[in-house]
Chain A
Amino acid sequence: MKRNGPILSLTSILLYCFMYTPIVVVAIFSFNASKYGVAWKGFTTKWYGVLFNNEQALRAAENTLILASASAAIATLLGTLLGYGLSRYWFPRKKFVATLMYVPVVIPDILMAVALLMFYGLMRDALGIFELGLSTMIFAHITFQIAFVAVVVKARMVGMDPALEEAARDLGANRWNVFWRITFPLMFPGIMSGALLAFTLSLDDFVVSFFTSGPGSTTLPILIYSSVKRGITPDINALSTLMVCASVLLVAGVTALQPRKNYHEK
């Protein structure tokens, strides 16, 4: 029952092919010499050259990186504190509040996007703050990243033996030392994978970015979207291929940070 039969294996391999078809197709076309259409006209790497001379794409890449790093940094801080606080301390109506905190994980992103667009618009009209641009995008990204970071950090905290901190205290460590010498080092892999997750989410986000961006704060996904609407150019395929590669590296990073099974006891 446990071994895979030929039908199951074949079905699964076909499904893998199905999942990878779009990714592979984009990569292949990024090396296609043809400028228009999807017919194969020979191998070339020139589109990568074109991409690196594309001012717009470079600016978008810069925006994307600033957005992802800044939002991931703040969200990691807030999300770690949230995950730590929720797994440690009681407060009135905690269950209800904790559930609300995970709403950003499940809410359809279009909803969050338009709610923020409207919120920023009204605030701008009323108070003159939240002019659409990179900063409003950062605030928006932080909002959905916090919950993801908190989930990862909390999972890590829950898996931790409470006796570890008790032991540290029993051995004479005060609250400060318990946290910095025991709790934090043990949480750290969780914090790092939370941060990487937040960073990746920001890189991948299109919908929220699209609605909260302003002139001059175009990111790579927005650039790709407008190219798709205008008609794709081969350098966009090159750009997409590079972004896929970046995602693969980040996934590898997150996977490497997962605790090995035999790490602590059973």
Chain B
Amino acid sequence: MAHASASPSSPDAAAAVELQNVEKRFADFTAVTGINLTIKKGEFFSLLGPSGCGKTTLLRMIAGLEFPSSGKVLIAGQDVHDVPACERPVNTVFQSYALFPHMTVRDNIGFGLRMKGMGRDEIRVRVDKIMELVQIGQFAERKPHMLSGGQRQRVALARAVVNEPTVLLLDEPLGALDLKLRKELQFELVALQRRLGITFICVTHDQEEALTMSDRIAVMNRGHIEQLGAAEDLYESPRTRFVGGFLGTCNIIEGSVTNRGPGGASVTTAAGPMRVEFRKDSDATRRDKLTLGIRPEKVRLREEPGNEQENCFPVTVKELQYIGSETHYLLDCSGLQLSAEVMNSKVGSQGFEAGQKAFVYLPPAGLVVLDD
């Protein structure tokens, strides 16, 4: 479930955006519920989840384009419930870019400043500067339909950041671009964020995009936050089955606790008894049935049982895929399906063949206990 940092009520001075118990109900379903979230100033924050998980709704509530059914949205410590979208210190880069088709690039970018009542000359100076920054200076007098996808994306970005918002919201900013351009722009976005020091909140369904760009990520599913943390935390120690499966791949092993010890337990699984270690704050210590997860690259595959007394099981290699730098194996471990990814670091012939008997070792530190 949700894991927020601050207690919900005291405004945090270092917070750019705070969501307190936010819920959004539409006529026939609940889009998001029980959201408690603090986004720090200057952070690159991502909301990651599959489509329909409520991440865009959350973003729109911060922008003021949608209003929470209950709970509070605070921007820079101020409750913005009664502040309309046009007065919030927040700007958005829309998924469709939403460039005004009847205006030139220059007029598009200057729109926000003009709405603030800034003078012509100053608008010109600022727009020129920002166009230089995102490298679209030569397109100033073009209309949006004459630009390529990547150029439109830059215009949309420039149009938002030129207003120097406290928070910049990005809704699937790279979703409409092809893979190569997406990679390039990922780096540019991060560089821009570092340079401007603006808080970025980015909505994406692309786990790789979130992992490479963000300081912190909130993984969302069905309207709530499953897990919040830095990229490495989320990948290395997913807390729920959903997070484990959504970020990368994860072997899932079901089992029941037979013997509890300090900081760990013995678990009976289809493969045999396994020893696992508990996280400090896990509630798994109290449960009898556990779901365990282990990343394929953490699974060790070897010909002999080795020295370990525990977590070592005989397997049969069912299928294999030779990728080059590594080989992916599908293993049968007494009826339990496991996948393993092994680096081909040896010199000479590599690994195992289909049908071959072997042993796997599942290191206790790599086994994580997942909530459902």
Residues of A near any B CB (own CB < 8 A): 161, 163-164, 166-174, 177, 181-182, 185-186, 262-265
B96 near A168: Cβ-Cβ < 8 Å: no
B98 near A161: Cβ-Cβ < 8 Å: yes
Q: Indicate whether A172 sits within 8 Å of B163 (C-beta atoms), given known contacts A163-B94, A163-B95, A265-B96.
A: yes
How close is A166's CB to chain B, nearest CB, in angstroms? 5
Closest to A160 in B: B101
A185 near B102: Cβ-Cβ < 8 Å: yes
B115 near A167: Cβ-Cβ < 8 Å: no
B100 near A182: Cβ-Cβ < 8 Å: yes
Q: Which residues of A contact B85 (CB under 8 A)?
A: 166, 169-170
B92 near A170: Cβ-Cβ < 8 Å: yes
A177 near B115: Cβ-Cβ < 8 Å: yes
Q: Is B87 an interface residue (CB 8 A)?
A: yes
Q: Which residues of B contact A167 (CB under 8 A)?
A: 92, 94, 98-100, 159
Q: Indicate whether A166 sits within 8 Å of B98 (C-beta atoms), given known contacts A171-B112, A171-B115, A172-B86.
A: yes
- Choice from A173, A264, A265 contacting B86 with Cβ under 8 Å: A173
Complex: how many Å from CA A173 to CA B160? Answer: 13
- Choice from A163, A171, A262, A265 contacting B111 with Cβ under 8 Å: A171
Q: Which residues of A contact B102 (CB under 8 A)?
A: 185-186
A161, A171, A173, A177 interface centre (most CB from chain B within 10 Å): A171
Complex: how many Å from CA A48 to CA B206? Answer: 72
How close is B16's CB to chain A, nearest CB, in angstroms? 17
What is the 8 Å Cβ interface bit string for chain B, positions 250-264, against chain A (1 contact, 0 not)?
A: 000000000000000
Q: Indicate whether A164 sits within 8 Å of B145 (C-beta atoms), given known contacts A170-B86, A171-B111.
A: no
B101 near A171: Cβ-Cβ < 8 Å: no
Residues of B near any A CB (own CB < 8 A): 63-65, 84-87, 90-92, 94-96, 98-102, 111-112, 115-116, 144-145, 159-160, 163
Q: Which residues of B contact A164 (CB under 8 A)?
A: 98, 100-101
Closest to A172 in B: B115
A167, A173, A185 interface centre (most CB from chain B within 10 Å): A167
Question: Could you list 13 further interchain pairs (A-B, Cβ under 8 angstroms) beyond the known A169-B85, A262-B145?
Answer: A163-B96, A164-B98, A166-B98, A167-B92, A167-B100, A169-B65, A170-B64, A170-B92, A171-B159, A173-B111, A186-B101, A263-B145, A264-B144
A264 near B145: Cβ-Cβ < 8 Å: yes
How close is B138's CB to chain A, nearest CB, in angstroms? 21
Complex: how many Å from CA A174 to CA B94? Answer: 19
Q: Which residues of A contact B145 (CB under 8 A)?
A: 262-265
10 A-B residue pairs with CB within 8 Å: A166-B92, A168-B100, A170-B90, A170-B92, A172-B87, A172-B112, A172-B163, A186-B101, A262-B145, A265-B145
How close is A190's CB to chain B, nearest CB, in angstroms? 13
A170, A174, A185 interface centre (most CB from chain B within 10 Å): A170
A173, A181, A182, A265 interface centre (most CB from chain B within 10 Å): A265
- Choice from B63, B94, B115, B159 contacting A173 with Cβ under 8 Å: B115
B63 near A170: Cβ-Cβ < 8 Å: yes
Complex: how many Å from CA A195 to CA B86? Answer: 33
B112 near A161: Cβ-Cβ < 8 Å: no
B63, B65, B85, B86 interface centre (most CB from chain A within 10 Å): B86
Complex: how many Å from CA A161 to CA B145? Answer: 14
Complex: how many Å from CA A263 to CA B101? Answer: 8
- Choice from A163, A171, A263 contacting B163 with Cβ under 8 Å: A171
Q: Which residues of B contact A166 (CB under 8 A)?
A: 65, 85, 92, 94, 98
Q: Which residues of A contact B90 (CB under 8 A)?
A: 170
Complex: how many Å from CA A177 to CA B87? Answer: 13
* 3 closest A-B pairs by CB: A171-B112, A163-B98, A172-B115
Complex: how many Å from CA A262 to CA B148? Answer: 12
How close is B257's CB to chain A, nearest CB, in angstroms? 51
Q: Which residues of B contact A185 (CB under 8 A)?
A: 102
How close is B156's CB to chain A, nearest CB, in angstroms? 8
Q: Which residues of A contact B160 (CB under 8 A)?
A: 171
How close is A8's CB to chain B, nearest CB, in angstroms? 36
Q: Which residues of A contact B111 (CB under 8 A)?
A: 168, 171, 173, 181
B63, B111, B160 interface centre (most CB from chain A within 10 Å): B111
- Choice from B91, B96, B115 contacting A161 with Cβ under 8 Å: B96
- Choice from A172, A181, A264 contacting B101 with Cβ under 8 Å: A264
Complex: how many Å from CA A264 to CA B92? Answer: 20
Q: Which residues of B contact A168 (CB under 8 A)?
A: 100, 111
Complex: how many Å from CA A161 to CA B100? Answer: 10
Complex: how many Å from CA A172 to CA B159? Answer: 12
Complex: how many Å from CA A167 to CA B100? Answer: 9
How close is B82's CB to chain A, nearest CB, in angstroms? 15
Closest to A167 in B: B98
Q: Which residues of B contact A181 (CB under 8 A)?
A: 111
Closest to B116 in A: A172
Closest to B91 in A: A170
How close is B369's CB to chain A, nearest CB, in angstroms? 42
Complex: how many Å from CA A186 to CA B99? Answer: 12
Complex: how many Å from CA A186 to CA B100? Answer: 9
How close is A136's CB to chain B, nearest CB, in angstroms? 40
Q: Which residues of A contact B92 (CB under 8 A)?
A: 166-167, 170
How close is A258's CB to chain B, nearest CB, in angstroms? 15
Complex: how many Å from CA A262 to CA B144? Answer: 11
